Amino acid sequence: MTTLKLNNIDKFFGVDSSRVQVLKNINFTAKKGEINLVIGPSGSGKSTFLTIAGGLQTPSDGSVVLEGQSLKTLSNKQRDALRLNKIGFILQSYNLIPYLTVKEQFKLVKKIKKNHNLDDHSLNDLMKRLEISNLENKYPGELSGGQSQRVAIARALYTKPDIILADEPTAALDSERVIEVGKIFQKLAREQNTAVIIVTHDLRLAKFADKVYEIMDGSMNLNNELKKKAG
């Protein structure tokens, strides 16, 4: 079942002589139960693609349809509700609240989204797999980049979203932890029927993907040869 569709997306920044086209006629479909990997170097447009897919930015042209709803027909309040209940974001900045401990990060999410979250047992199991159980009482300022990244992944998965949108989720992780994160995403897609979209330059994740796209200079194409190269 199609859960996210981008139709003829263009995105421009700047005006007049400073106008730059960042995305060029992007067409993309994500289905539940599948992992989609979008590979591209820095500056290729992949982060802009992800934020438009999640409704954090609006395209200059084209449409984004999420769970059968066109985002441009929704009010800001309706978009916020859709993101809260349907999408789990994993962003490069981690977005952890600096004055809350790791444990309190999850408590805050539960206050905002009261239902349909992981139960305590499932959350504890996820934290063990990500090796962050011992960090519960640490503040973000006390965590390394890799630890912050793993906490951000756990927080996004805690809400049991229908769609995961991840921006470089393994950039600060060693190969062993990349494999574990890849397995977690795979299990999430298969067992919870989640659509997973990951933008990255990390080819180590390609072997876990169902489809691999390449984005370059704002244009995107399906390129499953990259999956073969990753082994």
67 has a pLDDT exceeding 90: no
Mean pLDDT of all residues in 144-169? 93
- Supply the pLDDT for residue 156: 93
C-beta separation of 60 from 12 below 8 A? yes
Tens digits of residue pLDDT in 105-129: 999 999 999 999 999 999 999 999 9
Helix, strand, coil percentages for the chain (3-state, nearest 5): 40, 25, 30
229 against 90, higher pLDDT? 90
225 has a pLDDT exceeding 80: no
- Supply the pLDDT for residue 224: 72
Question: How crowded is the C-beta side of 77, counted as CA atoms within 13 Å?
Answer: 0
- Which positions ≥6 away from 85 have C-beta within 8 Å? 113, 116
